[in-house]
């Protein structure tokens, strides 16, 4: 009897062990690497960039054999609908495989969609259990589709290109998590990297290029209100303490030519203060630089010249930051720097009184920028190369 029962149970489990009933094999899945969201009239157009597995495998194993045409590893498909979820349903109709969102590397918003508001899209993206908070978010100056359909010459997909560019942190690097934090934070503003198409080289097809990050889109609430160029973005990065790589070129008084130095380490402190009903913000920047290029005839082994250089670098940094403040604080009134958070942290009591009026207060805040630059190493050269020794000013 007992044996019979055991046999029965074992044979039943055979049915269950054949696999999960909602199993999905890898070759039934369409792996999405990038999502594009565009506004088309009143409808949303969703573009998904999908991996074409065959091409991807061939490209990886053959390496450089088919010179430079590793492109074609991805395709794009679009669907439209009233909401993002609706658009996905329509997109799924056009695909033989189930869409899988677990590998989304980048989410691209078309400029129109960004101007129409991104909150509803953000809710969908963070609610979906397959989606990752690590995905990078960018805004395209044209449509999102035009960015995703590119077939980049080096990387496997344009989504990968955007992810790598974001991670390099030369300009803004914003993930889905960061966007959610900015949108639900105190500042009421957000900044997202903005991409544009690289002009196409000769003898290349129109799609063989990449989109690169060259601006920053400024959001108030969940709507995009404008954008700032790369110089101003770098000013914003200084203030946000996100600067990783930067070269600053200055010319010194009394010397011809220019000196470029690169940042090794930089740190920015935002120090708020409150006096007589007026808010003040001190931006305290310290950075350590190395010299990259010296086109003057000054020897950088002379301490006097180094001090001169440090002052000039600090001045250049302050000018950059001030230019950004002028545009973003005084003209756009968007607190993308996180001043609100800093004040909230340091003056929680006062903050509760002013938080409803923050939009009026922010543009009026008096900002003082201080910079302290230390040049640490002159690179491999002692005195400037390529000029006779006696022309060098020691």
Partner 1 sequence: MNTAGALLGSIVVVVLIFLLELPRFRRAEKKEKATFLVLLGLGMALAVVLIYFPDVPGPTQLVHYIFEPLARVFKLE
Partner 2 sequence: MEKGKISALQLAMMLYPAIIATAILLVPAITAHHAKQDMWLSPIWAAVTGVITVFIAVRLFNYYPQKTAIEYSEQIAGKWLGKFIGFVFLFFYLHVSGIIVREYGEFIIGNFFIRTPLLFIMGSMILVCAFAVRGGVEVVARLSEVAVPVVIVVIALFIIMLIPDMEIKNMFPIFEHGIMPSLKGAIIPQSWFSECFLIAFLLPYVANQKDGQKYALFSVAAICSTLVVVNFTVLFVLGNITARFVYPVMSAVRYISIADFLEHLEAFVMAIWVAGAFLKIAVFYYVLVLSTAQWLRLSDYRLIVFPIGFLILLFGNWSAPNVMELSHFLGTSTPFYLNTVQTVIPLLLLLGAKWRHRGKKA
Alpha carbon separation from 199 to 7, 164, 231, 301 (Å, rounded): 70, 19, 20, 43
* Nearest by Cα to 369 from 326, 338, 309: 326
Provide the minimum distance between the beta carbon of 239 and partner 2 in the complex, in angstroms, as a whole number: 15
Provide the minimum distance between the beta carbon of 22 and partner 2 in the complex, in angstroms, as a whole number: 4
Measured from the CB atom, the residue of 40 and 103 that comes closer to partner 2 is 103
d(CA 90, CA 98): 12
The partner in contact with residue 346, picked from partner 1, partner 2, none with C-beta cut-offs of 5 to 8 angstroms by kind, is: partner 2
Q: Which long-range contacts (CB under 8 A, 24 or more apart) does 343-350 make?
A: 343/272, 343/279, 344/186, 346/272, 347/272, 347/274, 350/274
Measured from the CB atom, the residue of 181 and 196 that comes closer to partner 2 is 181
The partner in contact with residue 180, picked from partner 2, partner 1, none with C-beta cut-offs of 5 to 8 angstroms by kind, is: partner 2
Between the two ends of the chain, the Cα-to-Cα distance in Å is 103
User: Are the C-beta atoms of 137 and 109 separated by less than 8 Å?
Assistant: yes
User: Are the C-beta atoms of 77 and 47 separated by less than 8 Å?
Assistant: yes
Alpha carbon separation from 35 to 31, 100, 137, 179, 379 (Å, rounded): 11, 11, 10, 16, 43
3-class SS at 309? helix
Binding segment (CB under 8 A) for partner 1, from list 2-10, 171-179, 182-190, 357-365: 2-10
Which x/- pattern over 8-47 shows residues binding partner 1 (rule: CB under 8 A)? -x--------------------------------------
Beta strands, E only, 295-365: none
The partner in contact with residue 184, picked from partner 1, partner 2, none with C-beta cut-offs of 5 to 8 angstroms by kind, is: partner 2
Measured from the CB atom, the residue of 277 and 348 that comes closer to partner 2 is 348
Measured from the CB atom, the residue of 351 and 362 that comes closer to partner 2 is 351
3-class SS at 159? helix
d(CA 337, CA 328): 9
Measured from the CB atom, the residue of 22 and 93 that comes closer to partner 1 is 22
The partner in contact with residue 344, picked from partner 1, partner 2, none with C-beta cut-offs of 5 to 8 angstroms by kind, is: partner 2
Contact residues toward partner 2 (CB under 8 A) are 20-22, 102, 126, 129, 132-134, 175, 177, 180-181, 184-185, 341, 344-346, 348
- Contact with partner 1 (CB under 8 A) among 2, 127, 275, 357: 2
Cα angle 360, 364, 365; round to 5: 115
Measured from the CB atom, the residue of 22 and 303 that comes closer to partner 2 is 22
Provide the minimum distance between the beta carbon of 228 and partner 2 in the complex, in angstroms, as a whole number: 24
d(CA 371, CA 131): 41
The partner in contact with residue 126, picked from partner 2, partner 1, none with C-beta cut-offs of 5 to 8 angstroms by kind, is: partner 2
Binding segment (CB under 8 A) for partner 1, from list 1-9, 71-79, 134-142, 202-210: 1-9
The partner in contact with residue 129, picked from partner 2, partner 1, none with C-beta cut-offs of 5 to 8 angstroms by kind, is: partner 2
Size of residue set near partner 1 by CB under 8 A: 4
The partner in contact with residue 1, picked from partner 1, partner 2, none with C-beta cut-offs of 5 to 8 angstroms by kind, is: partner 1
Residue 24 burial (CB count, 10 A): 11
Q: Which residue has the tokens 């061939």?
A: 58
Residue 328 burial (CB count, 10 A): 26
Which residues sit at the interface with partner 1, rule CB under 8 A? 1-2, 5, 9
């Amino acid at each position: 009897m007992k044996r019979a029962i055991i046999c029965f149970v074992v044979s039943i489990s055979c049915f269950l062990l054949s696999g999960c009933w909602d199993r999905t094999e890898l070759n039934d899945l369409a792996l999405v690497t990038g999502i594009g969201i565009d506004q088309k009239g009143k409808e949303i157009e969703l573009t998904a960039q999908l991996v074409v597995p065959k091409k991807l495998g061939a490209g990886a194993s053959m390496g450089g054999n088919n010179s430079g045409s590793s492109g074609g590893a991805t395709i794009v498909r679009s669907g439209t609908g009233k909401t993002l979820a609706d658009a996905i349903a329509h997109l799924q109709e056009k695909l033989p495989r189930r869409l899988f969102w677990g590998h989304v590397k980048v989410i691209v918003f078309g400029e129109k969609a960004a101007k129409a508001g991104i909150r509803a899209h953000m809710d969908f993206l963070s609610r979906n259990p397959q989606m990752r908070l690590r995905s990078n978010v960018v805004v395209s100056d044209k449509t999102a589709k035009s960015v995703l359909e590119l077939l980049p010459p080096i990387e496997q997909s344009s989504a990968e290109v955007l992810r790598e560019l974001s991670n390099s942190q030369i300009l803004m690097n914003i993930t889905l998590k960061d966007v959610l934090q900015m949108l639900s934070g105190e500042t009421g503003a957000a900044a997202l990297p903005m991409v544009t198409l690289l002009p196409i080289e000769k003898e290349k097809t129109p799609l063989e290029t990449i989109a690169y990050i060259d601006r920053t889109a400024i959001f108030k609430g969940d709507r995009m209100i404008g954008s700032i160029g790369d110089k101003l973005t770098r000013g914003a990065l200084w203030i946000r303490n996100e600067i990783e790589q930067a070269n600053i070129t200055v010319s010194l008084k009394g010397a011809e030519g220019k000196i470029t130095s690169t940042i090794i380490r930089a740190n920015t402190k935002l120090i708020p203060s409150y006096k007589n009903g007026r808010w003040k913000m001190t931006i305290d920047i310290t950075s350590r630089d190395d010299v990259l290029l010296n086109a003057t005839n000054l020897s950088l082994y002379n301490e006097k010249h180094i001090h001169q250089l440090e002052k000039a670098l600090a001045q250049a940094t302050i000018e950059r930051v001030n230019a950004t403040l002028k545009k973003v604080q005084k003209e756009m009134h968007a607190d993308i720097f996180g001043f609100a958070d800093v004040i909230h942290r340091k003056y929680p009591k006062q903050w509760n009184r002013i938080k409803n009026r923050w939009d009026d207060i922010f543009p009026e805040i008096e900002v003082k920028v201080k910079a302290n630059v230390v040049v640490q190493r002159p690179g491999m050269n002692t005195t400037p190369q390529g000029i006779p020794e006696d022309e060098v000013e020691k």
